Protein backbone atom coordinates (compact mmCIF):
# COMPACT_ATOMS: atom_id res chain seq x y z
CA UNK A 1 0.00 0.00 0.00
CA UNK A 2 1.43 3.40 -0.88
CA UNK A 3 1.60 6.20 1.69
CA UNK A 4 -1.21 8.11 0.04
CA UNK A 5 -3.52 5.09 0.22
CA UNK A 6 -2.93 4.47 3.93
CA UNK A 7 -6.17 5.42 5.74
CA UNK A 8 -4.14 6.42 8.80
CA UNK A 9 -2.18 8.98 6.85
CA UNK A 10 1.31 9.20 5.41
CA UNK A 11 3.86 6.63 6.52
CA UNK A 12 7.59 7.22 6.46
CA UNK A 13 10.49 4.99 7.49
CA UNK A 14 13.07 6.26 9.96
CA UNK A 15 15.73 3.64 10.53
CA UNK A 16 14.06 0.92 12.63
CA UNK A 17 11.11 3.17 13.39
CA UNK A 18 7.96 3.56 11.39
CA UNK A 19 6.38 6.91 11.97
CA UNK A 20 2.70 7.39 11.28
CA UNK A 21 1.22 10.86 11.06
CA UNK A 22 -2.46 10.97 11.86
CA UNK A 23 -4.93 13.62 10.72
CA UNK A 24 -4.42 16.76 12.79
CA UNK A 25 -0.76 16.05 13.31
CA UNK A 26 -1.07 13.52 16.19
CA UNK A 27 1.69 11.00 16.05
CA UNK A 28 2.24 7.36 16.88
CA UNK A 29 5.56 5.59 16.62
CA UNK A 30 5.88 1.90 15.91
CA UNK A 31 9.33 0.56 16.64
CA UNK A 32 10.07 -2.91 15.30
CA UNK A 33 6.39 -3.73 15.19
CA UNK A 34 5.44 -2.76 18.74
CA UNK A 35 3.41 0.26 19.71
CA UNK A 36 5.53 2.51 21.90
CA UNK A 37 3.31 5.55 22.13
CA UNK A 38 -0.09 4.71 23.56
CA UNK A 39 -1.18 8.24 24.43
CA UNK A 40 -3.90 8.16 21.79
CA UNK A 41 -7.08 6.21 22.15
CA UNK A 42 -7.46 3.40 19.61
CA UNK A 43 -10.65 2.05 18.14
CA UNK A 44 -10.80 -1.74 18.06
CA UNK A 45 -10.40 -1.75 14.28
CA UNK A 46 -7.26 0.35 14.51
CA UNK A 47 -5.89 -1.79 17.30
CA UNK A 48 -6.40 -4.98 15.34
CA UNK A 49 -4.69 -3.39 12.37
CA UNK A 50 -1.57 -2.95 14.45
CA UNK A 51 -1.72 -6.28 16.26
CA UNK A 52 0.79 -8.05 14.08
CA UNK A 53 0.71 -11.62 15.14
CA UNK A 54 -3.03 -12.43 15.26
CA UNK A 55 -2.97 -15.47 17.46
CA UNK A 56 -5.64 -14.07 19.76
CA UNK A 57 -9.38 -14.21 19.33
CA UNK A 58 -12.26 -12.45 21.08
CA UNK A 59 -12.59 -9.20 23.00
CA UNK A 60 -13.70 -9.75 26.61
CA UNK A 61 -13.37 -13.54 26.51
CA UNK A 62 -10.02 -13.59 24.78
CA UNK A 63 -8.18 -16.72 23.69
CA UNK A 64 -4.56 -16.81 22.58
CA UNK A 65 -3.40 -20.11 21.12
CA UNK A 66 0.18 -21.28 20.70
CA UNK A 67 2.03 -24.26 19.33
CA UNK A 68 2.39 -26.15 16.12
CA UNK A 69 1.96 -29.64 14.77
CA UNK A 70 5.37 -31.09 15.65
CA UNK A 71 6.44 -28.98 18.61
CA UNK A 72 6.41 -30.49 22.11
CA UNK A 73 2.96 -29.13 22.92
CA UNK A 74 0.25 -26.72 21.98
CA UNK A 75 -2.31 -24.88 24.01
CA UNK A 76 -3.96 -21.60 24.80
CA UNK A 77 -4.50 -18.92 27.37
CA UNK A 78 -8.12 -17.99 28.04
CA UNK A 79 -8.30 -14.49 29.47
CA UNK A 80 -11.49 -12.89 30.76
CA UNK A 81 -13.31 -15.99 31.93
CA UNK A 82 -15.73 -15.02 34.73
CA UNK A 83 -14.63 -16.18 38.21
CA UNK A 84 -16.33 -18.86 40.26
CA UNK A 85 -17.00 -21.49 37.58
CA UNK A 86 -16.29 -25.03 38.71
CA UNK A 87 -13.65 -26.22 36.25
CA UNK A 88 -11.22 -29.09 35.99
CA UNK A 89 -9.85 -31.19 33.14
CA UNK A 90 -12.87 -33.51 33.14
CA UNK A 91 -15.01 -30.61 31.90
CA UNK A 92 -12.83 -30.12 28.83
CA UNK A 93 -11.66 -33.62 27.94
CA UNK A 94 -14.95 -34.88 26.44
CA UNK A 95 -14.89 -32.07 23.88
CA UNK A 96 -11.28 -32.82 22.99
CA UNK A 97 -12.13 -36.50 22.66
CA UNK A 98 -14.66 -35.73 19.93
CA UNK A 99 -11.96 -33.97 17.87
CA UNK A 100 -9.16 -36.43 18.67
CA UNK A 101 -7.38 -38.01 15.68
CA UNK A 102 -6.85 -41.74 15.12
CA UNK A 103 -10.28 -42.92 16.30
CA UNK A 104 -11.36 -44.66 13.08
CA UNK A 105 -10.25 -45.19 9.48
CA UNK A 106 -12.01 -42.04 8.29
CA UNK A 107 -9.68 -39.64 10.09
CA UNK A 108 -5.92 -39.18 10.28
CA UNK A 109 -4.09 -42.12 11.87
CA UNK A 110 -1.91 -39.87 13.99
CA UNK A 111 -2.26 -41.18 17.57
CA UNK A 112 -2.70 -38.40 20.05
CA UNK A 113 -4.29 -38.74 23.49
CA UNK A 114 -5.00 -35.00 23.47
CA UNK A 115 -5.00 -34.92 27.27
CA UNK A 116 -5.60 -31.37 28.41
CA UNK A 117 -3.87 -29.98 31.46
CA UNK A 118 -5.01 -26.83 33.26
CA UNK A 119 -1.93 -24.88 34.34
CA UNK A 120 -3.44 -21.76 35.84
CA UNK A 121 -6.53 -19.74 36.55
CA UNK A 122 -8.35 -22.19 38.85
CA UNK A 123 -8.17 -22.89 42.55
CA UNK A 124 -10.06 -25.08 45.01
CA UNK A 125 -11.35 -23.01 47.89
CA UNK A 126 -10.97 -25.92 50.33
CA UNK A 127 -9.04 -29.19 50.08
CA UNK A 128 -11.03 -31.84 48.21
CA UNK A 129 -13.33 -29.33 46.54
CA UNK A 130 -13.52 -28.91 42.79
CA UNK A 131 -11.35 -26.02 41.57
CA UNK A 132 -13.11 -22.87 40.43
CA UNK A 133 -12.02 -20.22 37.99
CA UNK A 134 -10.37 -17.29 39.70
CA UNK A 135 -10.95 -14.75 36.91
CA UNK A 136 -7.26 -14.84 36.04
CA UNK A 137 -5.81 -16.28 32.80
CA UNK A 138 -6.53 -19.98 32.32
CA UNK A 139 -3.62 -21.71 30.59
CA UNK A 140 -4.41 -25.01 28.90
CA UNK A 141 -1.72 -27.38 27.65
CA UNK A 142 -2.00 -30.37 25.29
CA UNK A 143 1.11 -32.44 24.54
CA UNK A 144 2.06 -33.55 21.04
CA UNK A 145 3.01 -37.20 21.36
CA UNK A 146 2.99 -38.78 17.91
CA UNK A 147 4.97 -36.55 15.56
CA UNK A 148 6.62 -38.13 12.51
CA UNK A 149 8.55 -35.25 11.07
CA UNK A 150 10.39 -37.40 8.48
CA UNK A 151 7.04 -37.77 6.64
CA UNK A 152 7.42 -34.13 5.66
CA UNK A 153 10.94 -34.24 4.16
CA UNK A 154 9.46 -34.12 0.65
CA UNK A 155 7.75 -30.80 1.31
CA UNK A 156 10.72 -29.11 3.00
CA UNK A 157 11.37 -27.14 -0.14
CA UNK A 158 8.31 -27.86 -2.29
CA UNK A 159 4.85 -26.45 -1.75
CA UNK A 160 1.76 -28.63 -1.40
CA UNK A 161 -0.89 -27.26 -3.77
CA UNK A 162 -3.90 -26.14 -1.76
CA UNK A 163 -2.04 -26.09 1.56
CA UNK A 164 -0.55 -23.07 3.31
CA UNK A 165 3.09 -23.94 2.48
CA UNK A 166 3.61 -21.36 -0.27
CA UNK A 167 1.67 -18.55 1.43
CA UNK A 168 3.57 -18.98 4.74
CA UNK A 169 6.89 -18.99 2.89
CA UNK A 170 5.92 -15.95 0.81
CA UNK A 171 4.94 -14.05 3.95
CA UNK A 172 7.60 -15.06 6.48
CA UNK A 173 10.45 -16.26 4.26
CA UNK A 174 10.79 -19.24 6.57
CA UNK A 175 8.38 -22.02 7.49
CA UNK A 176 8.03 -25.09 9.63
CA UNK A 177 7.21 -27.89 7.17
CA UNK A 178 6.82 -30.53 9.89
CA UNK A 179 3.15 -31.44 9.76
CA UNK A 180 2.29 -28.03 8.36
CA UNK A 181 3.64 -26.21 11.42
CA UNK A 182 1.25 -23.58 12.68
CA UNK A 183 -1.03 -24.09 9.64
CA UNK A 184 -1.75 -27.59 10.87
CA UNK A 185 -5.19 -28.17 12.34
CA UNK A 186 -3.46 -29.57 15.45
CA UNK A 187 -3.89 -26.00 16.65
CA UNK A 188 -7.65 -26.47 16.66
CA UNK A 189 -7.30 -28.77 19.68
CA UNK A 190 -6.57 -25.62 21.71
CA UNK A 191 -9.69 -23.95 20.33
CA UNK A 192 -11.79 -26.95 21.33
CA UNK A 193 -10.34 -26.83 24.85
CA UNK A 194 -11.06 -23.09 25.08
CA UNK A 195 -14.53 -23.77 23.70
CA UNK A 196 -15.11 -26.10 26.64
CA UNK A 197 -14.42 -23.23 29.03
CA UNK A 198 -16.71 -20.99 26.95
CA UNK A 199 -19.53 -23.52 27.24
CA UNK A 200 -19.22 -23.49 31.04
CA UNK A 201 -19.36 -19.71 31.10
CA UNK A 202 -22.41 -19.73 28.81
CA UNK A 203 -24.13 -22.28 31.04
CA UNK A 204 -23.46 -20.06 34.05
CA UNK A 205 -24.94 -17.05 32.24
CA UNK A 206 -27.91 -18.65 30.48
CA UNK A 207 -28.41 -22.11 31.97
CA UNK A 208 -28.31 -25.52 30.36
CA UNK A 209 -31.00 -24.60 27.82
CA UNK A 210 -28.32 -22.90 25.73
CA UNK A 211 -27.04 -25.79 23.65
CA UNK A 212 -24.50 -25.83 20.83
CA UNK A 213 -24.46 -28.81 18.51
CA UNK A 214 -22.87 -29.55 15.16
CA UNK A 215 -23.37 -32.02 12.36
CA UNK A 216 -21.91 -32.96 9.02
CA UNK A 217 -24.70 -32.37 6.48
CA UNK A 218 -22.96 -33.12 3.17
CA UNK A 219 -19.88 -34.96 1.98
CA UNK A 220 -18.38 -35.03 -1.48
CA UNK A 221 -21.44 -33.19 -2.84
CA UNK A 222 -23.89 -35.74 -1.38
CA UNK A 223 -26.24 -33.93 1.05
CA UNK A 224 -28.24 -35.53 3.84
CA UNK A 225 -32.01 -35.79 3.68
CA UNK A 226 -33.05 -33.24 6.30
CA UNK A 227 -36.27 -35.16 6.92
CA UNK A 228 -34.05 -37.90 8.41
CA UNK A 229 -32.35 -35.52 10.85
CA UNK A 230 -31.82 -37.16 14.25
CA UNK A 231 -29.27 -35.63 16.59
CA UNK A 232 -28.80 -38.99 18.30
CA UNK A 233 -27.44 -40.41 15.03
CA UNK A 234 -24.48 -37.99 15.17
CA UNK A 235 -23.01 -39.97 18.05
CA UNK A 236 -23.52 -43.31 16.31
CA UNK A 237 -21.44 -42.90 13.16
CA UNK A 238 -17.87 -41.68 12.54
CA UNK A 239 -19.05 -38.59 10.60
CA UNK A 240 -21.22 -36.70 13.13
CA UNK A 241 -23.95 -37.22 10.54
CA UNK A 242 -27.59 -36.81 11.68
CA UNK A 243 -28.94 -38.91 8.76
CA UNK A 244 -28.24 -42.63 9.26
CA UNK A 245 -28.81 -43.47 5.59
CA UNK A 246 -26.43 -40.76 4.45
CA UNK A 247 -23.82 -41.97 6.96
CA UNK A 248 -23.85 -45.38 5.28
CA UNK A 249 -23.34 -43.76 1.89
CA UNK A 250 -20.49 -41.64 3.29
CA UNK A 251 -18.66 -44.78 4.44
CA UNK A 252 -18.50 -46.03 0.88
CA UNK A 253 -17.79 -42.60 -0.60
CA UNK A 254 -14.91 -41.91 1.72
CA UNK A 255 -13.45 -45.39 1.51
CA UNK A 256 -13.37 -45.07 -2.28
CA UNK A 257 -11.78 -41.63 -2.15
CA UNK A 258 -9.22 -42.74 0.44
CA UNK A 259 -8.23 -45.84 -1.52
CA UNK A 260 -7.84 -43.71 -4.65
CA UNK A 261 -5.42 -41.46 -2.71
CA UNK A 262 -7.89 -38.59 -2.89
CA UNK A 263 -10.01 -36.65 -0.38
CA UNK A 264 -13.51 -35.17 -0.05
CA UNK A 265 -15.03 -31.87 0.99
CA UNK A 266 -17.97 -31.47 3.33
CA UNK A 267 -20.56 -29.10 4.73
CA UNK A 268 -20.76 -28.66 8.49
CA UNK A 269 -23.79 -27.16 10.23
CA UNK A 270 -23.67 -25.68 13.73
CA UNK A 271 -26.77 -24.76 15.70
CA UNK A 272 -26.98 -22.84 18.94
CA UNK A 273 -30.33 -23.21 20.70
CA UNK A 274 -31.49 -21.16 23.67
CA UNK A 275 -29.45 -18.08 22.81
CA UNK A 276 -31.30 -15.06 24.19
CA UNK A 277 -32.27 -12.17 21.94
CA UNK A 278 -29.92 -9.21 22.17
CA UNK A 279 -26.39 -10.58 21.65
CA UNK A 280 -24.38 -8.79 18.99
CA UNK A 281 -23.95 -5.16 18.10
CA UNK A 282 -24.47 -2.82 15.22
CA UNK A 283 -22.52 -2.22 13.06
CA UNK A 284 -18.94 -3.40 13.34
CA UNK A 285 -19.55 -5.99 16.03
CA UNK A 286 -22.35 -7.88 14.34
CA UNK A 287 -22.91 -11.33 15.71
CA UNK A 288 -23.18 -12.80 12.22
CA UNK A 289 -20.00 -11.13 10.97
CA UNK A 290 -18.11 -12.34 14.04
CA UNK A 291 -19.49 -15.85 13.53
CA UNK A 292 -18.52 -15.79 9.87
CA UNK A 293 -15.01 -14.61 10.77
CA UNK A 294 -14.66 -17.27 13.44
CA UNK A 295 -15.80 -20.06 11.14
CA UNK A 296 -13.66 -18.81 8.24
CA UNK A 297 -10.75 -18.90 10.67
CA UNK A 298 -11.03 -22.68 10.85
CA UNK A 299 -8.54 -24.45 8.61
CA UNK A 300 -9.97 -25.50 5.25
CA UNK A 301 -13.25 -23.59 5.66
CA UNK A 302 -13.84 -21.68 2.43
CA UNK A 303 -17.47 -20.66 2.74
CA UNK A 304 -19.84 -19.71 5.56
CA UNK A 305 -23.56 -19.07 5.43
CA UNK A 306 -25.94 -17.93 8.14
CA UNK A 307 -29.49 -19.28 8.08
CA UNK A 308 -30.64 -19.85 4.53
CA UNK A 309 -27.49 -18.04 3.37
CA UNK A 310 -26.93 -18.13 -0.37
CA UNK A 311 -30.39 -19.63 -0.95
CA UNK A 312 -31.89 -16.32 0.26
CA UNK A 313 -30.63 -14.68 -2.90
CA UNK A 314 -33.06 -16.79 -4.93
CA UNK A 315 -36.07 -16.25 -2.65
CA UNK A 316 -38.84 -13.67 -2.83
CA UNK A 317 -39.25 -11.15 -0.03
CA UNK A 318 -42.51 -12.55 1.24
CA UNK A 319 -40.94 -16.00 1.60
CA UNK A 320 -37.62 -14.87 3.05
CA UNK A 321 -39.01 -12.62 5.79
CA UNK A 322 -39.38 -14.54 9.02
CA UNK A 323 -42.97 -13.72 10.02
CA UNK A 324 -43.88 -13.17 13.66
CA UNK A 325 -46.83 -14.11 15.84
CA UNK A 326 -47.46 -14.04 19.57
CA UNK A 327 -46.64 -17.29 21.33
CA UNK A 328 -48.52 -18.94 24.16
CA UNK A 329 -46.07 -17.65 26.78
CA UNK A 330 -46.71 -14.00 25.92
CA UNK A 331 -43.57 -13.55 23.80
CA UNK A 332 -43.33 -13.33 20.03
CA UNK A 333 -42.41 -16.38 17.95
CA UNK A 334 -41.02 -16.51 14.43
CA UNK A 335 -42.70 -18.69 11.84
CA UNK A 336 -39.46 -19.48 9.96
CA UNK A 337 -35.72 -18.95 10.47
CA UNK A 338 -34.21 -17.95 7.14
CA UNK A 339 -32.10 -15.35 8.93
CA UNK A 340 -30.38 -17.96 11.05
CA UNK A 341 -31.24 -16.33 14.38
CA UNK A 342 -29.52 -13.02 13.65
CA UNK A 343 -31.23 -9.77 12.59
CA UNK A 344 -29.32 -6.54 12.23
CA UNK A 345 -26.26 -8.24 13.66
CA UNK A 346 -28.14 -9.06 16.90
CA UNK A 347 -29.50 -12.43 18.00
CA UNK A 348 -33.28 -12.71 17.63
CA UNK A 349 -33.77 -15.53 20.13
CA UNK A 350 -34.18 -18.11 17.40
CA UNK A 351 -31.67 -20.90 16.87
CA UNK A 352 -28.44 -19.56 15.47
CA UNK A 353 -27.64 -21.57 12.37
CA UNK A 354 -24.28 -21.47 10.63
CA UNK A 355 -23.01 -23.68 7.82
CA UNK A 356 -19.39 -24.03 6.74
CA UNK A 357 -18.12 -25.32 3.40
CA UNK A 358 -14.97 -27.32 4.13
CA UNK A 359 -12.67 -28.04 1.23
CA UNK A 360 -11.19 -31.47 0.50
CA UNK A 361 -7.87 -32.17 2.20
CA UNK A 362 -5.05 -30.85 0.07
CA UNK A 363 -2.47 -33.42 1.25
CA UNK A 364 -3.29 -36.35 -1.02
CA UNK A 365 -1.45 -39.25 -2.59
CA UNK A 366 -2.50 -38.40 -6.15
CA UNK A 367 0.48 -36.55 -7.65
CA UNK A 368 -0.12 -32.84 -8.20
CA UNK A 369 1.94 -30.23 -10.05
CA UNK A 370 3.81 -27.72 -7.91
CA UNK A 371 7.03 -25.73 -7.60
CA UNK A 372 9.93 -25.63 -5.15
CA UNK A 373 11.30 -22.70 -3.18
CA UNK A 374 14.08 -22.26 -5.74
CA UNK A 375 11.58 -22.07 -8.58
CA UNK A 376 11.81 -25.59 -10.00
CA UNK A 377 8.65 -27.18 -11.32
CA UNK A 378 7.95 -30.52 -9.67
CA UNK A 379 5.28 -33.11 -8.87
CA UNK A 380 4.11 -33.68 -5.31
CA UNK A 381 2.52 -36.75 -3.85
CA UNK A 382 1.84 -36.10 -0.16
CA UNK A 383 2.46 -39.11 2.02
CA UNK A 384 2.12 -39.13 5.80
CA UNK A 385 -1.04 -39.32 7.84
CA UNK A 386 -3.90 -37.06 6.77
CA UNK A 387 -7.63 -36.72 7.22
CA UNK A 388 -9.33 -37.92 4.04
CA UNK A 389 -12.22 -35.53 4.82
CA UNK A 390 -11.25 -32.73 7.19
CA UNK A 391 -14.91 -31.69 7.43
CA UNK A 392 -15.51 -34.53 9.89
CA UNK A 393 -13.19 -33.29 12.62
CA UNK A 394 -14.13 -29.70 11.77
CA UNK A 395 -17.50 -30.32 13.46
CA UNK A 396 -16.29 -30.10 17.08
CA UNK A 397 -13.96 -27.25 16.10
CA UNK A 398 -16.83 -25.23 14.63
CA UNK A 399 -18.94 -25.94 17.72
CA UNK A 400 -16.11 -24.53 19.84
CA UNK A 401 -15.87 -21.41 17.67
CA UNK A 402 -19.62 -20.87 18.06
CA UNK A 403 -19.26 -21.13 21.86
CA UNK A 404 -16.32 -18.70 21.87
CA UNK A 405 -18.16 -16.09 19.78
CA UNK A 406 -21.32 -16.38 21.86
CA UNK A 407 -19.59 -16.08 25.23
CA UNK A 408 -17.59 -13.11 24.05
CA UNK A 409 -20.77 -11.40 22.87
CA UNK A 410 -22.57 -12.35 26.08
CA UNK A 411 -19.87 -10.62 28.14
CA UNK A 412 -19.86 -7.62 25.81
CA UNK A 413 -23.66 -7.40 26.06
CA UNK A 414 -23.44 -7.49 29.84
CA UNK A 415 -20.66 -4.93 29.90
CA UNK A 416 -22.59 -2.48 27.75
CA UNK A 417 -26.13 -2.93 29.02
CA UNK A 418 -25.57 -4.33 32.50
CA UNK A 419 -27.84 -7.24 31.57
CA UNK A 420 -27.09 -10.85 30.80
CA UNK A 421 -30.41 -11.68 29.23
CA UNK A 422 -32.73 -10.06 26.70
CA UNK A 423 -35.32 -7.35 27.27
CA UNK A 424 -38.00 -9.47 25.68
CA UNK A 425 -38.49 -13.16 25.04
CA UNK A 426 -38.33 -14.40 21.47
CA UNK A 427 -38.66 -17.91 20.23
CA UNK A 428 -38.44 -20.42 17.45
CA UNK A 429 -41.23 -21.46 15.11
CA UNK A 430 -44.02 -23.23 16.98
Of 387, 401, 405, 412, the one binding ligand FMN by CB under 6 A: 387
The reply to whether 147 sits near ligand FMN by the rule CB under 6 A is no
Task: Identify the CA nearest to 140 among candidates 99, 104, 92.
Answer: 92
> In whole angstroms, how far apart are CA 204 and each of 83, 86, 117, 196, 414?
11, 10, 22, 13, 13
Among 192, 390, 400, 411, binds ligand FMN (CB under 6 A): 390
Q: For ligand FMN, what does the binding mask look like between residues 343 and 382, x meaning CB under 6 A?
A: ----------------x-xxx-------------------
Identify how many contiguous H helices and E strands the chain contains and give both numbers. Answer: 9, 22
Which CB atom, from 175 or from 338, has the smaller least distance to ligand FMN? 175
Based on the shown chain and the rule CB under 6 A, indicate whether residue 144 belongs to the binding site for ligand FMN. no
State yes or no: residue 300 binds ligand FMN (CB under 6 A): yes
Site string for ligand FMN, 313-342 (x = CB under 6 A): ------------------------------
Scanning 83-91, 336-344, 384-392, 419-427 for contacts with ligand FMN by CB under 6 A, the matching segment is 384-392
Q: Tell me, residue by residue from 150 to 189, as one string, x for binding to ligand FMN by CB under 6 A and - for no binding.
A: -------------xx---------------x--xxx--x-
Q: Please, are residues 186 and 178 in contact by the beta-carbon 8 Å criterion?
A: no
| Least gap, CB of 113 to ligand FMN (angstroms) | 17
Binding test (CB under 6 A) with ligand FMN, winner from 70, 271, 355, 393: 393
Sheet containing 11-14, strands listed edge to edge, beginning at the edge strand earlier in sequence: 11-14, 17-21, 27-31, 34-35
Closest to ligand FMN by CB, 299 vs 348, is 299
Q: Nearest approach, Cβ of 68 to ligand FMN (angstroms)?
A: 11
Q: Does 64 bind ligand FMN (CB under 6 A)?
A: no
Radius of gyration of the chain (CA): 23
Please say which residue, 130 or 302, places its beta carbon nearer to ligand FMN: 302
Q: Which residues contact 254 (CB under 8 A, 6 or more apart)?
A: 106, 219, 220, 264, 388, 389
Q: Between 308 and 362, whose beta carbon lies closer to ligand FMN?
A: 362
CA separation for the pair 99, 214 (Å, rounded): 12
**Cβ neighbours of residue 303 under 8 Å, at least 6 residues apart?**
356, 357
Q: What is the largest CA-CA distance in the chain?
A: 70
Q: Minimal distance in Å, beta carbon 303 to ligand FMN?
A: 11
**Residue 359 CB, nearest approach to ligand FMN (Å):** 6
| Alpha-carbon distances, residue 165 vs 69, 183, 184, 279, 301 (angstroms) | 14, 8, 10, 38, 17
Q: Is the peptide bond before 283 cis (omega within 30 degrees of 0)?
A: yes
Binding positions for ligand FMN, rule: CB under 6 A: 108, 163-164, 180, 183-185, 188, 298-300, 359, 361-363, 386-387, 390, 393-394, 397
Amino acid sequence: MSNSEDPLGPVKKQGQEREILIDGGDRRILAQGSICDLRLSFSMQEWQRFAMSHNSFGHLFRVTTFGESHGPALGCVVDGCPPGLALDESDLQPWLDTRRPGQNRFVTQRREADRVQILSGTCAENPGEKPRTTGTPIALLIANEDQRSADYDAIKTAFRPGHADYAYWAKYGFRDPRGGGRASARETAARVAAGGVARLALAALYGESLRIRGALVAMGGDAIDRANWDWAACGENPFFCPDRDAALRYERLLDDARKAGSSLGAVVEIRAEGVPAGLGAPLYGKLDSDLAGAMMGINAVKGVEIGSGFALAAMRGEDAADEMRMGSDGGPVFRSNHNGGVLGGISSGQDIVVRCAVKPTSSILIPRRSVTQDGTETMIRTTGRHDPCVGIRAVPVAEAMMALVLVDHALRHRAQTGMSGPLGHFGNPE
